[in-house]
A and B are shown apart, each in its own frame.
Chain A
């Protein structure tokens, strides 16, 4: 018990003094996850919109594949990316293993299906609402996607935030492809895992608070966005 209290005290100290390790690790986490988020969103949001307005025979299959991809354990994604990037793998020459880029790749693979799936669901509702109007106005497919993405932007932001929440808290895949190297690929989750196993709870707890803070902010934002969407304030 005393140890935990000591740890908490030290953790608060690290937070309020903006400890350099803590800041560095936090910034790297944000850098990796935000990069992954931007890439994933650029792929997943238009794809979700496209999927929502398409009326092709295999749409169900595509959605099933999306859901299956969402269900792959991140650790397995890590293993897969590791094999691709390891020196003997097909992309070994790029020398990306144990770099932030490798972690971004893994996170992109983990959250793209999630974002696409949520985006698809909400845009499908919007499409059902707009369908007759957009057909009547003789819109091109490109205009339809643009309109859905713009008018569904809050729902899409919600989808992206869900992806962010998933990516920032991910540890298994990041550990495998990043290697948790100090000053290079150490991020919030891997640092917490390491410090905990070393028994240094103060840094682990400090980082934990940062992570919790991020997660809560994301959820508050999602909650707020969903409410404004429902109440028709845009």
Chain B
């Protein structure tokens, strides 16, 4: 890709809410290719970290910078939320929405929408109102909608948290495809099996900090700290 928006550089970034520091200071560089999986106990700041990287959280200290200007960078990344945000429109119109925003013609947008619907198994539901889909179908729709602009970076916040195995398998397949097409994935999960299946490297969040960050083999086979070891054993870490 010409002029990649990566690397994303975080320098001593802090996110505070109501005067309380909930994430940071975090110093981290998101570069290269592949999939980074973010794990950690509940409340450790996984969601906030992803939202902050994507620009949904105001940073109160530190510096966050993409390799391209902010506007350019924001147009080439997308986000999949833990509970999918479904627009009050048909499946087709949900999918076409990001493309029409970007000024694509209705025809072009609809063709792409139909293609992506088929990829996530919603090909026969195009005209249906999206709010009537099941939870798994909604998340697949949200994923397809996030990928339809072929983003360079895709953030996902526990996208499979409430889904059954079948829906999870479809979503993981779509994610593997996106990765091999060059999309950089950053995804939080509390499913260690999923982390092992998808990760190239792992960020372990603890108490609002990046506690450890390592390639997937090293992380699971030779944890660097006692806390990581405890967490991987399934002990309660705080």
Q: What residues of B have a CB within 8 angstroms of the CB of A137 in the complex? A: 78, 97-98, 101
B154-201 contacts to A, CB under 8 A, are none
- B54 close to A (CB within 8 Å): yes
Q: CA–CA, A232 to B91, complex, Å?
A: 13
Question: Is A130 a contact of B85 with CB atoms below 8 Å?
Answer: yes
Question: Is B54 a contact of A130 with CB atoms below 8 Å?
Answer: no
Report the minimal beta-carbon distance from B92 to chain A, rounded to whole angstroms.
Answer: 13
Partner of A129, one of B78, B85, B89: B85
Chain B, 88-118, contact with A by CB distance < 8 Å: what is the 0/1 string? 1100000001100100000000000000000
Interface size class on chain B is 10 to 19
Question: Is A132 a contact of B81 with CB atoms below 8 Å?
Answer: yes
Question: Is A136 a contact of B56 with CB atoms below 8 Å?
Answer: yes
Report the minimal beta-carbon distance from A140 to chain B, rounded to whole angstroms.
Answer: 9
- B71 close to A (CB within 8 Å): yes
Partner of A234, one of B56, B81, B88: B88
Q: What residues of B have a CB within 8 angstroms of the CB of A152 in the complex? A: 88
Question: Is A136 a contact of B79 with CB atoms below 8 Å?
Answer: yes
Chain A, 193-234, contact with B by CB distance < 8 Å: what is the 0/1 string? 000000000000000000000000000000000000000111
Report the minimal beta-carbon distance from A227 to chain B, rounded to whole angstroms.
Answer: 14
Question: Is B129 a contact of A232 with CB atoms below 8 Å?
Answer: yes
Q: What residues of B have a CB within 8 angstroms of the CB of A6 in the complex? A: none
Q: What residues of B have a CB within 8 angstroms of the CB of A67 in the complex? A: none
**Shortest beta-carbon contacts, A-B, top 9:** A232-B131, A133-B85, A138-B74, A136-B79, A151-B88, A234-B88, A234-B129, A137-B98, A138-B75
Please list the residues of chain A having a beta carbon within 8 angstroms of any beta carbon in chain B.
126, 129-130, 132-133, 135-139, 143, 147, 151-152, 232-234
Between-chain CB contacts (< 8 Å), 16 pairs: A130-B87, A132-B79, A132-B85, A133-B85, A133-B87, A136-B79, A137-B101, A138-B74, A147-B87, A147-B97, A151-B88, A232-B88, A232-B132, A233-B129, A234-B88, A234-B129
